[in-house]
Copies of this chain bind each other. A is one copy, B any other.
Amino acid sequence: MNQTEKKYKKVVLAYSGGLDTSVIIPWLKDNYGCEVIAVAGDVGQGKELSGLEERALKTGASKLYIEDLTKEFVDEYIIPTMQAGAVYEGKYLLGTSFARPIIAKRLVEIAKKEGADAIAHGCTGKGNDQVRFELAIKAFAPEMGIIAPWRTWELKSREDEIEYAEKHNIEIPLTKETNYSKDKNLWHLSHEGLDLEDPKNEPDYDKILEMGVSPEKAPDKATYVTLTFVKGVPVALDGKELDSVELIKTLNKLGGENGIGIIDMVENRLVGMKSRGVYETPGGAILYHAHGMLEEICLDKETQHYKALVAQKFSEIVYNGQWYTPLREALSAFVESTQKTVTGDVKLKLYKGNIIGAGMTSPYSLYSEEVATFGEDNVYDQMDSQGFINLFGLPIKVKALLDEKRGK
């Protein structure tokens, strides 16, 4: 049965107050004759929330929820993913990917509380976000209706939307428009569209960047920063304990000023196409770097190598919106187990786009000055190498001997 043929009485909408979701409210009411409850999930996008309620009600919503999810976002989504070392396709720090599940979870909670029979979102039919939203909805409310107007309505462009808004007397929100398609939260800001759509174009960073500056515009003098981790969790900056949200905000500022965390990539979307984007993750880039350095001294080789494989899977799972799945949970259990000893201080030098290690220490360091002092007799006898090589190389030697015999 076609989606729009279904009947809904009360719909919860993921609401931002921008053009798209402003138009969706009357469209939902027109098409379903339903009540619309707007929900704005705050994951640190830093937009003006004042006036949002007025706008939502004016546009036809019966109610607006503003939900501050920032702290939960950082502690339950960002940090576990950073601990995993998960980076999608070697570049993307997943800023949008894990923001969708947490918002969707809250949408479901409100929909259940309100007795709504459907949830609507403003994601396009070509992107990943529709998948991430809907997978999370299915996980918590498998029988909940889902409405994705962009996949079904007749409005095919921004112009169509504006016309629709005017026809319905909806005040069009004024936005400082670069016209790039953006997604912002505490962790990152993404840019897509326009000239970026052709990979042959060099991004015009001076026009694009908002969280910081390009390396060229960064100060000529380096900034040093020291991060302290306890069991893989960042807890202090330059020796001062900081709440995780504040810590990321501070790193965003430091990173942004120093031209750090800018990524330009062509990525593979879940829905089968490639897309090009520019990402700003200034604080995130610093955090990943520091954490990775610390793991170099705190994890043993076998754990470090296998964890790197797990990281790739973790990144795919998060990118695909499969946060609320048994596999993500099991991978998190793996990661958490590895973080027991990831404790210590990492000093970094931030300079014009570079994050440069400037020394680190850990009480759990497996590379400790003290190891050297155990002395050769106790820990390392160079003659052991001969035996090691002989056995490690045994398969090669046997193969070569047999090849010789056969006159290979």
Cα–Cα distance between A295 and B3 once the two chains are bound (Å):
35
Asked, given contacts A90-B308, A303-B327, A333-B334, whether A385 binds B391 with beta carbons under 8 Å apart, the answer is: yes
Q: Give chain A's interface residue range (CB within 8 Å of chain B).
A: 35 or more
Say which one of A68-76, A142-150, A182-190 lies at the interface with B.
A142-150
* B residues less than 8 Å from A30 (CB atoms): none
Contact of A304 with B by CB under 8 A: yes
A265 to B, closest residue via Cβ: B296
Nearest CB on B from A329, distance (A): 6
Cα–Cα distance between A249 and B197 once the two chains are bound (Å):
34
CB under 8 Å from chain B, chain A span 214-271: 215-216, 222, 264-268, 270-271
Cα–Cα distance between A369 and B402 once the two chains are bound (Å):
11
Contact of A395 with B by CB under 8 A: yes
Contact of A358 with B by CB under 8 A: yes
Interface centre among A90, A296, A329, A385 (most CB of B within 10 A): A385
A202 touches B347 (CB 8 A): yes
Contact of A384 with B by CB under 8 A: yes
A274 to B, closest residue via Cβ: B367
User: Do most interface residues of chain A lie in helix, strand or loop, or is the interface mixed?
Assistant: helix
Total copies of this chain within the assembly: 4
B396 touches A379 (CB 8 A): no
Contact of A366 with B by CB under 8 A: yes
* B residues less than 8 Å from A364 (CB atoms): 402, 406
Cα–Cα distance between A400 and B374 once the two chains are bound (Å):
12
Q: Which listed residue (B216, B300, B352, B382) contacts A327, Cβ 8 A?
A: B300
A402 touches B366 (CB 8 A): yes
Contact of A19 with B by CB under 8 A: no
A395 touches B351 (CB 8 A): no
* B residues less than 8 Å from A402 (CB atoms): 364-366, 368, 370-371
* B residues less than 8 Å from A357 (CB atoms): 202, 264
* B residues less than 8 Å from A356 (CB atoms): 215, 264, 353
Cα–Cα distance between A268 and B380 once the two chains are bound (Å):
15
A394 touches B271 (CB 8 A): yes
Contact of A63 with B by CB under 8 A: no
CB under 8 Å from chain B, chain A span 267-306: 267-268, 270-276, 292, 296-297, 299-306
* B residues less than 8 Å from A322 (CB atoms): 302, 396
Cα–Cα distance between A72 and B377 once the two chains are bound (Å):
35
Asked, given contacts A305-B316, A387-B383, A387-B386, whether A395 binds B151 with beta carbons under 8 Å apart, the answer is: no
A90 touches B292 (CB 8 A): yes
Q: Which listed residue (B329, B337, B385, B391) contacts A326, Cβ 8 A?
A: B337
A360 to B, closest residue via Cβ: B199
Asked, given contacts A148-B386, A388-B271, A388-B387, whether A398 binds B135 with beta carbons under 8 Å apart, the answer is: no
Contact of A401 with B by CB under 8 A: yes
Nearest CB on B from A349, distance (A): 7
Chain A residues within 8 Å of B, Cβ to Cβ? 1, 3, 89-90, 124-126, 130-131, 134-135, 138-143, 148, 150-152, 197-202, 215-216, 222, 264-268, 270-276, 292, 296-297, 299-309, 312-313, 316-317, 320, 322, 324-327, 329-338, 340-341, 347, 349, 351-354, 356-361, 363-372, 374, 377-402, 404-406
Closest 3 CB pairs of A and B: A387-B387, A125-B382, A272-B394
Known: A199-B365, A275-B367, A306-B313. 12 other contacts (CB 8 A): A130-B389, A135-B389, A139-B399, A140-B400, A143-B401, A197-B372, A200-B360, A202-B347, A202-B358, A202-B359, A266-B296, A333-B336
For this complex, 10 residue pairs linking A to B, each with C-beta atoms less than 8 Å apart, are A89-B296, A143-B378, A202-B347, A215-B354, A300-B325, A300-B327, A365-B402, A380-B390, A381-B390, A387-B387
